Structure 1
Amino acid sequence: MILESGRWFWLTVGVISVALLVLLSPILTPFLVGAFLAYLGDPLVDRLEGWKLSRTLSVTTVFVAIFLLVLLFFLFLVPVLETQVKLFISTVPRYLDWGVNMLGPYLNENFGVDPSVLEMDRLKGVIASHWKETGGFIRNAIQTISKSGFVVLGWVANLALIPIITFYLLRDWDRMVAYIDDLLPRSIEPLVAKLARESDDVLGAFLRGQLLVMMALACIYALGLWLVGLEFALLIGLIAGLVSFVPYLGLIVGVGVAGVAILFQTQDVFNLFWVFAVFGVAQVIEGTVLTPLLVGERIGLHPVTVIFAVLAGGQLFGFFGVLLALPVAAVLAVIMRHVHETYKQSQIYGIETPEMPPAIELDDSEEKSRG
């Protein structure tokens, strides 16, 4: 009976799929990471195939490029970032003292606020003790995975599986898509294919487009602030670039943090001009080059949707949920758009206008008498 009804059949498939995701979520993380990397690299593979390279050679080239970038990130960028974070944390107490000395007299004279109520000494102690307890990123990771031999084996297994999964998914990506399309019932295949294409456009606009824009902005911010002479150029540039998926948030955060840092470092207000120049040039490059070239006219996920999806996924399923959040949000956004369009065209939304009474035809005698 269930198989005879398409509605009940797909409802059963959906419930079983969700139950399997919940039960298997502890082991699915490397598969999701591999699928994420394969999804990002598949367009490059297809482009290399268009240049008359074989699929295997194209996959190998993209695979090596992806993992060289990942390796360079962990070998060089992470230690530099950790060093800058440590230096920044050690400098925070001096930032607080400088801020109290600058703003304290103003607050006292104009608002009657005694700077002592801010309890800066206690705040500095909390920051210092918290950093000593937490330590660095790398040391925390090593301590976490070294608490149990099984945890170490799990981490090693996952790290070893990710490259293997990525390679095979990249090689067979188009074949898997065609296989799934062939499995769909022919009655719903056109609708599912349309929704899948729209979901790919939405997700691709964010992952492939907006992610590249964020990385490019982070590089521009960091390079510009480094040329200005800012001590924490890499850290501030990376933070401003990462939060730039929310319109103007990266600009506001970057200008605010970099402005305070350059004032504290040089004690010269004129250097604020160079900070404004760096972010102004970056915004011009983003609006005229980066966004039109990398994102184009595609409509990605709304920034609020991205924030909510990531937080909700992390709350429900941890790191696995964070990885799954964006694909699920993209599909749901497309489905809701389709439901909205269907609703606007349905009789539920439409207002039926009363039918007009049929026109009364006049015979020749009546027409003559009226004439």
Structure 2
Amino acid sequence: MVLKESKLWFYLALVIAFAVLINLLSPILAPFIFGALLAYLGDPLIDRLETWKLSRGFAVACVFIVLVVIISLLILLLVPMLQSQIDGLIERAPEIGDWLDTTATQLGQYFGVNADAINFKTLAKEYLPEAGNATKDFVKAVFESGGALLSGIVFVTLTPVITFYLMRDWDDLVERIYDLIPRSMKATAANLAKESDSMVSAFLRGQFLVMTGLGTIYSVGLSFVGLQFALLVGFIAGVMSFIPYLGTAVGLILAGVLFVAQYQDWIALWKVALVFAVGQTIEGYLLTPLLVGDRIGLHPVAVIFAVLAGGQLFGFVGILLALPVSAVLAVVLRYVVKQYKESHLYNDEHVSTATPPD
């Protein structure tokens, strides 16, 4: 009994020490985490190519080149278009703020409420830069900040290198880690690792494709109904859709406000609602069942808490790790609950006759 307790405290100390180490090293961990995520995503494809009698090195080179090309195209094509829409939104912000002020005043008069406390037009002028200068000011700020510039250079330079080496040695690293596990725990660890891999891969691969699909559907649909900032709204809604219904809610509100401000037509809002209804239908009946399934098993509230807690504890690195770590913890927690329900503590002979609370 004492030996088991000492093991428990030893493992708890290891977890705490690891968390402290992550917190201390978080400023330099971003390229390693991105590299590990890309290597994790690419490893199954590399293994598939190896079954076609290709060498590991050649398979890694092929997958690595494809990843670099895809990411480079996304950056070269998507970023300028998004920046153009951001500049356009900043340019129209005072006009939209003026419309919001007028609408709030009218609604306040209708409901008998004083809506003059917030001046959206003033807020837009005060907190948003002038149109056309947003990109220039951002680039200038980056170059004037030596630390930010150095961090950016390190990230862009190291991430591809780390990704390549982790892809090449991924199977060996997994084998070495498995070899360090105590023999008495190998079977349990293997089962938990297999289930965790299923959940994490379902999120990282499947949910990323769902987010991309939703972002594309929203962007194309909103462009079709004539929204000026369709790409920006679709991008935001797609990125935020990893939290169920949050991306749809934020995108619908943002698109609705911008659409009415653009056309001054409340009745035509049904077009925006239709776009998001179609997107949700495609996600619910096609994208999520095919690409993700029911393997993640994280409640939406747990997802929100994980992201906020990760950001609070470890900053940007915590946000990156929040959902993969939560998926693994969910697997471990289910195992602990199963062990508890099979234990004598749960199956006590003295059965309570008390009724559970409502």
Question: TM class by shorter-chain length?
Answer: 0.7 to 0.9
Name which of structure 1's ranges 310-319 and 20-29 shifts more when overlaid on structure 2: 20-29
> How is 1:1-371 mapped onto 2 (pairs within 5 angstroms)?
6-7=7-8, 9-11=10-12, 13-102=14-103, 104-108=105-109, 110-115=110-115, 117-120=116-119, 123-132=120-129, 136=134, 139-140=137-138, 142-148=140-146, 152-269=149-266, 271-353=268-350
Structure 2, unpaired ranges of 5+: 352-358
Give the Cα separation in 2 of the matches to 1:20 and 1:71.
32
Structure 1, unpaired ranges of 5+: 355-371
**Deviation per CA, 1:309-358, whole angstroms, max 9, x where unpaired?**
2222222222222223233222222222211122222222223158xxxx
Name which of structure 1's ranges 213-222 and 167-176 shifts more when overlaid on structure 2: 167-176
User: 1:106 offset after TM fit, Å?
Assistant: 4.4
Do the aligned partners of 2:236 and 2:251 also contact (CA within 8 Å) in 1?
yes
TM-score (norm 1): 0.83
Give the Cα separation in 2 of the matches to 1:138 and 1:172.
41
Other structure's SS at 1:132 match: coil
Do the aligned partners of 1:218 and 1:240 also contact (CA within 8 Å) in 2?
yes
User: Would the alpha carbon gap of residues 205 and 98 (structure 1) be closer, same or farther in structure 2, given more than 3 Å must change?
Assistant: same
Other structure's SS at 1:351 match: coil
Counterpart code for 1:224: G
Give aligned pairs, total. 349
User: Would the alpha carbon gap of residues 349 and 130 (structure 1) be closer, same or farther in structure 2, given more than 3 Å must change?
Assistant: same
User: 1:15 offset after TM fit, Å?
Assistant: 4.7
User: 1:290 offset after TM fit, Å?
Assistant: 0.9
Give the Cα separation in 2 of the matches to 1:64 and 1:154.
24
Counting aligned pairs with the same residue, the percent is 49
**Deviation per CA, 1:111-136, whole angstroms, max 9, x where unpaired?**
32344x2342xx42232222229963
Give the Cα separation in 2 of the matches to 1:190 and 1:86.
56
TM-score (norm 2): 0.86
Give the Cα separation in 2 of the matches to 1:106 and 1:154.
48
* RMSD of Structure 2 on Structure 1 (CA): 2.9
Give the Cα separation in 1 of the matches to 2:339 and 2:330.
14
Give the Cα separation in 2 of the matches to 1:347 and 1:137.
64
**Deviation per CA, 1:248-292, whole angstroms, max 9, x where unpaired?**
333333333223322332334553333233222222221222112
Do the aligned partners of 1:314 and 1:322 also contact (CA within 8 Å) in 2?
yes
Other structure's SS at 2:194 match: helix
| Larger Rg belongs to | 1
